[in-house]
């Protein structure tokens, strides 16, 4: 019977999905996607898109989502957050031979993302949608300009920390890392991250442009972490073992 480096469904790279050791990483594509996100954000801000989309949200969902919708959104909301990151690290540590590289990439990416979106939250104040509707103006007369408070260093008011979406950033940070190291499961990671970002809009705690900026932060953070981690901990393909003599 042949014996090689593949055992119990694991490839020689140590990836339990049986996929190549890493996915294809193109900084050019990341740059294009981030540029599109920035363009979409500017369009939303300049064309009153944030307020228009939020009006649609209130017309469709109402003030509070129904119980079934809330449970569904709650599940999506947790992707990329602390518990899911911890569980991911535990699974990677237990089953992937590239554990050091993958875990370092996850932690570095999350740290970069956390620093970026918190830097914005604690300096640039913006009303969360529900707060703007309750305390600024009704949606019918609300404008983009009135949703912004402006420069406020050490801003600690939760209702004024709408920009950017930290959940969206964290979700796309984790998705970017996992999609690179486990490319066969990309079809699952990206929709989960998108669902997390969408849940923040449907919860009326973030404007759509907040979510787009959060997504851009997540993609940039995961890309930088992949580049830096692979320079320090490059992944080398395992050499196939010679077959035993009969």
Residue 130 in this model has a pLDDT that exceeds 80: yes
Q: Span 103-131, mean pLDDT?
A: 97
- What CATH code is assigned to 27-232? 1.20.144
Inter-residue contact 118 to 154 (CB < 8 Å): no
pLDDT band for position 5 (50/70/90)? very low
111 CB-near residues (< 8 Å, 6+ apart): none
Q: Are 43 and 208 in contact (CB under 8 A)?
A: no
- 151 φ/ψ angles, rounded to the nearest 5 degrees: -65, 120
Give me 5's structure tokens.
């480096």
Query: How many CB atoms within 10 Å of residue 245?
Result: 4
Task: Taking residues 104-120, report their average pLDDT.
Answer: 98
* Region at 80 (left for phi over 0; alpha for psi -120 to 50; beta for the rest): left
Q: What is the pLDDT of residue 2?
A: 40
Q: Which of 7-21, 104-118, 143-157 has the lowest mean pLDDT?
A: 7-21
pTM of the model: 0.86
Least confident of 25-29, 52-56, 214-218: 25-29
Instruction: Average the pLDDT over 144-164 and give the result.
Output: 95
Q: What is the mean pLDDT of residues 179-193?
A: 96
42: which residues sit within 8 A by CB, 6+ positions away? none
- pLDDT of 209 above 70: yes
Which one, of 232, 109, 236, 114, lies nearest residue 179 by Cα? 109
Q: What is the three-state SS of 80-94?
A: CCHHHHHHHHHHHHH
Between 19-33, 105-119, 161-175, the lowest mean confidence (pLDDT) is in 19-33
pLDDT for 225: 96
Q: How confident is the model at residue 241 (pLDDT cuts 50, 70, 90)?
A: very low
The maximal CA–CA distance of the chain, rounded, in angstroms, is 83
Tens-place pLDDT, residues 58-73? 998 887 777 777 788 8
DSSP result, 172-203: HHHHHHHHHH-GGGHHHHHHHHHHHHHHHHHT
What does the pLDDT read at residue 70? 79
Answer whether residue 126 shows pLDDT above 90. Answer: yes
Q: What residue has token string 């699974």?
A: 91
pLDDT of residue 174: 98
Q: Which two tokens stand for residue 75?
A: 């599940």
Question: Cβ(173)–Cβ(114) under 8 Å?
Answer: no
Residues 173-178: what's their mean pLDDT?
A: 97
Rounded CA separation 144/42 (Å): 12
- Percent of the chain at pLDDT > 70 equals 85
Q: What is the pLDDT of residue 11?
A: 39
Give the least confident one: 70-79, 105-114, 234-243. Answer: 234-243
Distance from C-alpha of 211 to C-alpha of 80, rounded to nearest angstrom? 14
Identify the H or E element spanning 50: helix 49-61
């Amino acid at each position: 019977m042949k014996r090689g480096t593949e055992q119990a469904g694991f490839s020689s790279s140590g990836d339990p999905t049986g996929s190549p050791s890493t996915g294809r990483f193109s900084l050019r594509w990341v740059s294009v996607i981030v540029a599109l996100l920035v363009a979409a954000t500017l369009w939303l801000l300049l064309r009153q898109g944030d307020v228009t989309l939020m009006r649609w949200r209130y017309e469709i969902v109402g003030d509070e989502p129904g119980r079934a919708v809330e449970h569904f959104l709650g599940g999506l909301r947790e992707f990329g957050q602390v518990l899911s990151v911890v569980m991911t690290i535990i699974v990677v540590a237990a089953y992937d031979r590239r554990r050091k590289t993958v875990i370092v990439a996850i932690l570095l990416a999350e740290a970069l993302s956390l620093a970026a979106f918190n830097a914005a939250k604690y300096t640039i104040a913006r009303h969360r949608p529900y707060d703007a509707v309750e305390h600024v103006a009704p949606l019918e007369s609300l404008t983009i300009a009135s949703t912004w408070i402006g420069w406020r260093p050490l801003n600690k008011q939760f209702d004024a920390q709408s920009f950017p979406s930290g959940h969206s950033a964290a979700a796309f940070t984790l998705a970017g890392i996992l999609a690179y190291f486990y490319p066969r499961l990309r079809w699952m990671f990206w929709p989960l991250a998108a669902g997390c970002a969408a849940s923040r809009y449907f919860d009326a705690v973030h404007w759509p442009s907040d979510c787009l900026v959060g997504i851009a932060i997540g993609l940039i953070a995961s890309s930088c972490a992949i580049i830096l981690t692979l320079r320090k901990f490059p992944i080398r393909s395992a050499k196939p073992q010679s077959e035993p003599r009969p």
